[in-house]
Amino acid sequence: MQYRLEKRPEPSRLMLYLSPVAAVVLTAVVGAVIFSLIGYDGVGAVREIFLTPILNPLKWQDLGVKAAPLILIGVGLAIGYKANVWNIGAEGQYVIGGLAGTGVALATRDFSGPWILPLMVLAGILGGMAWASIPALLKTRLRVSEILTSLMLTYVAIQVLNYLVLGPWKDPMGFGFPQTVMFTSSQSLPRVIPGTIVHLGVPLAFLIALIAWLVMSRSLFGFQIRVVGAAPQAARYGGFSANRTIWLALLVSGGLAGLAGIFEAAGPFGRMVPQFPTNYGFTAIIVAFLGRLNPLGVIFAGLAMAVAVVGGDVAQTTIRLPNAAVGIFQAMMLFFLLASDILVRYRLRRVVPQTAGSAA
Amino acid sequence: MSTDLLISIIITVVGASTPILIAALGELVAEKSGVLNLGVEGMMLTGAVIGFAVAFVTGNAWLAIAAAALAGVLVSMIFAFLTLSLSANQVATGLALTIFGTGFSALFGQGYTGRPIALFGPLFPAELATHPTWRVIFGYSALVYFSLVMVVAVWWFLKKTRAGLILRAVGENDVSAHSIGYSVIGVRYAAVAFGGAMAGIAGACFPLLLTPQWAERLTAGRGWIALALVVFAAWRPFRLLAGAYLFGLVMTLELYAKAAGGRFSILPSEFWAALPYLATILVLVLISLRGRQSNAPACLGKPFLPSN
């Protein structure tokens, strides 16, 4: 008996929504087996990584704080990937966004007032956009692959960060530590739930994802993005400019990554430090795919990935699982998702072997 | 400039160029068959950690290189299965492979931090390399000569052999190649495996050739530079050689700028650290400005499904 893949007339919606769930479940099961095989407590690892953050209410605030940047960056990347614009340098745009906002903070140290924080946020968005506009310019003008340029610029952004915190922006009273001064209270995001670490950026991230979902599903912009990605030829005939779409996709994803950057700087970090790049920009790539490149899906995927990130920290202290294990879980999730993707577009059909005579 | 300094610069350039050359040669063959594997960095890190571990346990560099190549092939098969058998998106799968390799190498390597191994010594007997000038020719490890031999071998394979012709046909026009009766998927599996082996060996160059210890993410984006080099070289092996050595020179500048300290102080050391990445962008821009028709294989990155 043989099976054959057959193209579905239309992508299966059931499989579309089911496959991310299947990917997470498969990751947990296979992860437990693999980690047991290499000598760790595999079942414990899966319990700590996937369940403890959900079951322990004390961890919920961490989930929100970790999910916020992942959702913000993931939404931007999802919009770009939908249009076949492969920005993989969100980490760099996140860093530059954080730096631009920090620049405003350092320049406004002698002032106070409610205008400072919005200005920092604006600078963060513009910083991310500016960094993303380099790949956009090179792609639209010179057809240079945005995959390579956006990634190369991430390494450059990290060097810019190192230069600033080790040099001109170093806190002179910081006992030689490579970091800026602490932000003042008018430069920091307020806490929205008293007694927790949940800052204003967390609800805003969810709100922005919802707005992005509305824009993508209801507006001409969203339609344009989807058409350019799915059928570039048709888009050209329809009068949608490919270059305009590339610019929009990179500016939106860069701006959101920059926003995430300044939210992190003015929120959890409270100053600029060399440890600022925390891989959110790369993890958000997985979040975008896991969320099916749909902003609403990205909210769930961002929360799911935050569970893995928070759980990774838990497992590190409770069962001494190295932090790198989380990266393996994340990659496995993406592998399983991509593997199950084929069932969205194809179905398995049993092939009845034909006799030689009838074939001739 | 003294001869000694010049010679030591040349030797550093050769060392820095070798891993990116090896990785880029593997990717070139994979891309020629129509597969864009963005997982080079992940495969290199996998090869690096396996190579290190085997060198640490056995003390045998040859065994370490073989194990690194095998590890590279094994992880590349995850990519091949997903993109070729299940026609998953190659960009996304390649990124996943890099994330996987980064995580795997960090996990596997954590017990080895701070434990030194021996560098892979020169291939030729020391008597040949006593004079400084001869050192420039005979003073390198086997990996360096391997990379140079492979440049010729890949060129010869693609241009002069029947198998190479089939591989190029698969990359240029998969439908025709399939209709003549060649196994498109089979050829691509083989090409991806070769890319994996080369990336694995390239990864092993880091502990065996450059710094004889384990450090997380020790490849520092060199896999991505190798990917850019393939574009730079317009998918031609000998231009790849020139490109890799150009980048080796840029990376060496960083090392010497750091060592020289004050003399380069007009520009901060971070600038020199960012230079290879800036140079990559610049090079991509220059190729594009020259306006030459891109030599990219026509089917690069596109999935192939024989049933349609």
Give contacts of A341 with chain B, Cβ < 8 Å: 86, 88-89
ipTM: 0.86
pLDDT over 90 at B107, yes or no:
no
CA distance B103 to chain A (A): 5
pLDDT over 80 at A110, yes or no:
yes
pLDDT band per the 50, 70, 90 thresholds, residue B255: confident
pLDDT at B308: 43
pLDDT over 90 at A288, yes or no:
yes
Q: pLDDT tens digits for B275-307?
A: 888 988 998 888 888 765 567 888 888 888 765
Give the best-scoring range by mean pLDDT among A326-335, B69-78, B211-220, B279-288.
B69-78
Residues 6+ apart with CB under 8 A from B49: B104, B105, B108, B109, B112, B203, B214
Residue of B38, B222, B284 to mutate for A, most A C-beta atoms under 10 A: B284
CA distance B239 to chain A (A): 19
A25 within a domain of the structure (yes/no):
no
pLDDT at B265: 60
pLDDT higher at B4 or A149: A149
pLDDT at A101: 96
Q: Which of residues 187-216 of A touch B (CB under 8 A)?
A: none
Least confident of A31-35, B143-147, B148-152: A31-35
Query: With pLDDT > 70 as the criterion, what percentage of chain A qualifies?
Result: 96
Residue pair B195/B30 in contact (Cβ under 8 Å)? The answer is yes
Residues 6+ apart with CB under 8 A from A165: A178, A179, A180, A272, A273, A274
A289 within a domain of the structure (yes/no):
no
CA distance A281 to chain B (A): 12
* Residue A250 domain boundaries: 77-278
pLDDT over 50 at B37, yes or no:
yes
Q: Is B250 on the interface with A (CB under 8 A)?
A: no
Q: Which of residues 139-168 of A touch B (CB under 8 A)?
A: 142-145, 147-149, 151-153, 155-156, 159-160, 162-163, 166-167
Q: What is the mean pLDDT of residues B222-237?
A: 90
pLDDT over 50 at A357, yes or no:
no
A155 within a domain of the structure (yes/no):
yes
Give contacts of A156 with chain B, Cβ < 8 Å: 274, 277-278
pLDDT over 80 at B266, yes or no:
no
pTM of structure: 0.88
pLDDT over 50 at A329, yes or no:
yes
pLDDT band per the 50, 70, 90 thresholds, residue A359: very low
Q: pLDDT tens digits for B195-226?
A: 999 999 999 999 998 888 888 888 888 999 89
pLDDT over 70 at A281, yes or no:
yes
Give contacts of A330 with chain B, Cβ < 8 Å: 99, 103
pLDDT over 80 at A258, yes or no:
yes
B224 to chain A: nearest residue by CA? A148
Number of domains in chain A: 1
pLDDT at B165: 94
Q: Please give the Cα distance from A224 to A216 (Å, whole number).
A: 9
Q: Is B95 on the interface with A (CB under 8 A)?
A: yes
Give SS3 for A360: coil
Q: What is the mean pLDDT of residues A49-63?
A: 89
Give contacts of B82 with chain A, Cβ < 8 Å: 335, 338-339
Residue of B27, B46, B102, B107 to mutate for A, most A C-beta atoms under 10 A: B107
Q: What is the mean pLDDT of residues A123-144?
A: 95
pLDDT band per the 50, 70, 90 thresholds, residue A358: very low
Residue pair A315/A308 in contact (Cβ under 8 Å)? The answer is no
pLDDT higher at A32 or B1: A32
CA distance A155 to chain B (A): 7
pLDDT over 60 at B19, yes or no:
yes
pLDDT band per the 50, 70, 90 thresholds, residue B68: very high
pLDDT at A44: 85
Q: Is A341 on the interface with B (CB under 8 A)?
A: yes
Give contacts of A301 with chain B, Cβ < 8 Å: none
**Cross-chain Cβ contact B99/A330 below 8 Å:** yes
Residue pair A155/B277 in contact (Cβ under 8 Å)? The answer is yes
B82 to chain A: nearest residue by CA? A339
Give contacts of B280 with chain A, Cβ < 8 Å: 148, 152
**Cross-chain Cβ contact B107/A322 below 8 Å:** yes
pLDDT over 90 at A271, yes or no:
yes
Query: With pLDDT > 90 as the criterion, what percentage of chain A qualifies?
Result: 49
pLDDT higher at A18 or B36: B36
Q: What is the mean pLDDT of residues A184-189?
A: 91
**Cross-chain Cβ contact A155/B308 below 8 Å:** no
Q: Is B267 on the interface with A (CB under 8 A)?
A: no
Closest to A338 (Cβ–Cβ): which among B88, B270, B274?
B88
A5 forms bridges with which residues in the sheet?
A: A348
pLDDT at B300: 86
Residue B141, phi then psi, degrees to nearest 5: -75, 160
pLDDT band per the 50, 70, 90 thresholds, residue A95: very high
* Domain spans of chain B, in order of start: 3-222
For A67-97, b/e burial (b = at least 16 CB within 10 A) is bbbbbbbbbbbbbbbbbbbbbbbbbbbbbbb
Both structure tokens of B190: 């083989």
Give contacts of A163 with chain B, Cβ < 8 Å: 268, 270-271
**Cross-chain Cβ contact A330/B268 below 8 Å:** no
Q: Please give the Cα distance from B275 to B269 (Å, whole number).
A: 10
pLDDT over 80 at B260, yes or no:
no
Question: CA of A65: how far to CAs of A310, A344, B209, in Å?
Answer: 10, 32, 43
**Cross-chain Cβ contact B100/A332 below 8 Å:** yes
pLDDT over 70 at B243, yes or no:
yes
pLDDT at A355: 54
Q: Is A282 on the interface with B (CB under 8 A)?
A: yes
**Cross-chain Cβ contact A145/B231 below 8 Å:** yes
Q: Is A327 on the interface with B (CB under 8 A)?
A: yes
Q: Please give the Cα distance from B81 to B84 (Å, whole number).
A: 5
Q: Is A247 on the interface with B (CB under 8 A)?
A: no
Residue of B50, B74, B86, B216 to mutate for A, most A C-beta atoms under 10 A: B86
**Cross-chain Cβ contact A163/B271 below 8 Å:** yes
Q: What is the mean pLDDT of residues A284-310?
A: 92
pLDDT over 60 at A354, yes or no:
no
Residues 6+ apart with CB under 8 A from B291: none
**Cross-chain Cβ contact A7/B307 below 8 Å:** yes
pLDDT band per the 50, 70, 90 thresholds, residue B31: very high
Q: What is the mean pLDDT of residues A163-187?
A: 89
Q: What is the DSSP string of chain B?
A: --HHHHHHHHHHHHHHHHHHHHHHHHHHHHHHTT---TTHHHHHHHHHHHHHHHHHHH--HHHHHHHHHHHHHHHHHHHHIIIIIS---HHHHHHHHHHHHHHHHHHHHGGGBT-------BSS-GGGG-SHHHHHHH-SBHHHHHHHHHHHHHHHHHHH-HHHHHHHHHHH-HHHHHHHT--HHHHHHHHHHHHHHHHHHHHHHIIIII-SSB-TTTTTTHHHHHHHHHHHTTT-HHHHHHHHHHHHHHHHHHHHHHHHGGGGTTS-HHHHHHHHHHHHHHHHHHHHHTTPPP---TTTT----TT-
CB atoms within 10 A of CB A338: 24
Mean of all residue pLDDT scores within chain A: 88
pLDDT at A360: 37
